[in-house]
Structure 1
Amino acid sequence: MDIDHEADPATRTALFEHVYRHTGIVMNERKWPMLAGRLRRRLHALALPGYPAYLRLLEERPQEIDDFIDLVTTNETSFFRTPRVWEYVAHDFLPHWHRRNAGAVLRIWSAASSSGEEAYSAAMTCEEFRSVHPAFRYSIVATDISDEILGKASRGIFQGRNIEALKASRPAFVEKYFSLGTDGYSVSAALRARVAFRKINLHQAVRAIEDVDLAMLRNVLIYFDSTGQEQVLENVRRAMKLDAVLVVGESESLSRLKTGFRFEQPLIYRNGKVAHDSGA
């Protein structure tokens, strides 16, 4: 059976509505080929005759929603993605924050952590800083909407192009923070202990995360319409300290949105309008 032929306009619209309802992500007909490709694997796995049958399954079996979310969310990431962001964190944000917050614990939130590369990049950056400033303390919470990807992230085992790219760009970090095993390169237990992974839907009110000093919300906003972007940003902002730093993705800007953030430099924003010196 050609599954694509089973996707009539009403079925496609209903599936788009499910995507929005469960993730806040807006999809339209231009996104149908991508969505269809991702769902097709699930249809085959469940031996379903077509998309209408899968739609009925979503509506009749709530436990299928988690698998649906895993399928429709994008998990593209890498270690130390956008190097200038990490230069800013290592050489600007951390020194200034540490100078102004002696004795405090830095709280970092990787808000859409995907398979964990961003969170572990933050942990490695903090460990390098701590090696020079032993009194420095930090904690990292990493969140995503997908149970499957969170499980992968928490295991901390990497193989393929992302770890190969890290070996090429920062070989000393791979030597220091990873060990090679039969399944790939494993993040050290000490580094994994610095990162707590949790399931969170950023399109809904965020609970159990607060007093964040540095929030990384990168390559997330592009999946929402302007209303959804403002809602996500407000949900994240409410978990942040006043004057805390927000980092967004290279293709993202808050300039046309109504938010509580102010521009500091490309990709970098501040929560609120408190006067401060540069950095943190």
Structure 2
Amino acid sequence: MDNEREVDQATRRAFFDQVRRHTGIAMSERKWALLEGRLRRRVRELALPGYRDYLHVLEAKPEEVRDFIDLVTTNETSFFRTPRIWEYFAGQFLPRWFETHGGTPLRVWSAAASSGEEAYTVAMLCEEFRGRHPAFRYRILATDIGDAILRKAAAARYQGRSIEGLGQTHPDLLARYFSAADDGFVADPALRANVTFRKHNLHEAARDIGTMDVTLLRNVLIYFDAAGQQVVLENVRRAMAPDGVLIVGESESLSRFDMGFAFEQPLIYRNEVRP
């Protein structure tokens, strides 16, 4: 099989084009080692002579695109990642929102849900809030581009570093919302009841998403070039309620975009544009 040194620039460029075509993600030459490492296993599984042959498979068999997307997208997350986000959500946003919108359900969009830890973190905090305010209602939509990772998220079974981290930082929530299963833990039905998982490409219009009060778009923009970021942000904004809150990742900022997002505090922006 081709190794990294033998893959010519045209073939590498063709793979980068495939990534952009199917996900909107922009990759450069410096990302080839990462991409090649992920592709190698699939090429071997299909018993193909090399990477050029896999390009032919992608073009000839549309069903292979699903596996390609699963391979090339990054799925790294954890429960309560970036504590300041969750301190804001639980301590500032939820009380303020409930005071002014108590009669309607809160709508939250985890826009790059990966294996579901972010969505279930939101659910735990919402359940805790509902314990103090029984009239509070909420719905969480969790989306991602990969089929395999969405199946994993919907199963809500966690083991290893992910669930161990939750046990270290929030042992009370682990005990309250998860049950031991096999060699890990599974989220209880009560926690999963208000979370829906759905496939969605952020590079496409969010016509069936609804109108969201909070959108978590964390560690996503860094994978797009400037034009791609503009498209993603506009798609997301159109699915947000007036005054809806957008939360981005630690290394991301909207300061260079003039799109109607007003800075509220680091990583937190508010939608000031009316639909």
Q: TM-score range by the shorter chain?
A: over 0.9
> Is the CA contact (8 Å cut-off) linking 1:230 and 1:258 kept in structure 2?
no
Q: How does 1:44-83 map to 2 (within 5 A)?
A: 44-83=44-83
**Quick one: which amino acid aligns to residue 110 of structure 2?**
S
Which residue matches 2:170? Answer: 170
**Quick one: which amino acid aligns to residue 53 of structure 1?**
D
Which residue matches 1:278? Answer: none
Give me the whole-angstrom Cα distance separating, in 1, the residues matched to 2:183 and 2:242.
43
> Is the CA contact (8 Å cut-off) linking 1:226 and 1:257 kept in structure 2?
no
1:121-178 Cα offsets, whole Å, 9 max, x none, are 0000000000000000000000000000000000000001111011011000010000
**1:198–1:273 distance in 2 versus 1, CA, 3 Å:** closer
User: Mean alpha-carbon deviation: is it higher for 227-236 or for 251-260?
Assistant: 251-260
> Is the CA contact (8 Å cut-off) linking 1:6 and 1:50 kept in structure 2?
no
Q: Aligned-pair distance for 1:67?
A: 0.3
> Is the CA contact (8 Å cut-off) linking 1:73 and 1:146 kept in structure 2?
yes
Which residue matches 2:97? Answer: 97
Give me the whole-angstrom Cα distance separating, in 1, the residues matched to 2:55 and 2:6.
11
**Quick one: which amino acid aligns to residue 200 of structure 1?**
H
Q: How does 1:1-280 map to 2 (within 5 A)?
A: 1-272=1-272
> Is the CA contact (8 Å cut-off) linking 2:244 and 2:270 kept in structure 1?
yes
SS at match of 2:162: helix
Q: Aligned-pair distance for 1:211?
A: 1.6
**Quick one: which amino acid aligns to residue 259 of structure 1?**
M
**Quick one: which amino acid aligns to residue 102 of structure 2?**
A
**1:273–1:16 distance in 2 versus 1, CA, 3 Å:** closer
Give me the whole-angstrom Cα distance separating, in 1, the residues matched to 2:50 and 2:145.
26
Structure 2 unaligned residues grouped into runs of 5+ = none
Give me the whole-angstrom Cα distance separating, in 1, the residues matched to 2:136 and 2:250.
29
Give the aligned CA root-mean-square deviation in angstroms.
Answer: 1.1
Aligned residues: 274
Give me the whole-angstrom Cα distance separating, in 1, the residues matched to 2:228 and 2:38.
23
**Quick one: which amino acid aligns to residue 115 of structure 2?**
S
Structure 1 unaligned residues grouped into runs of 5+ = 275-280
> Is the CA contact (8 Å cut-off) linking 1:154 and 1:197 kept in structure 2?
yes
**Quick one: which amino acid aligns to residue 169 of structure 2?**
S
SS at match of 2:203: coil
> Is the CA contact (8 Å cut-off) linking 1:157 and 1:183 kept in structure 2?
no
Give me the whole-angstrom Cα distance separating, in 1, the residues matched to 2:96 and 2:165.
30
Give me the whole-angstrom Cα distance separating, in 2, the residues matched to 1:163 and 1:200.
26
Q: Aligned-pair distance for 1:222?
A: 0.3
Q: Which runs of 4+ in 1 moved over 3 A?
A: none
Give me the whole-angstrom Cα distance separating, in 1, the residues matched to 2:31 and 2:181.
39
Which residue matches 1:277? Answer: none
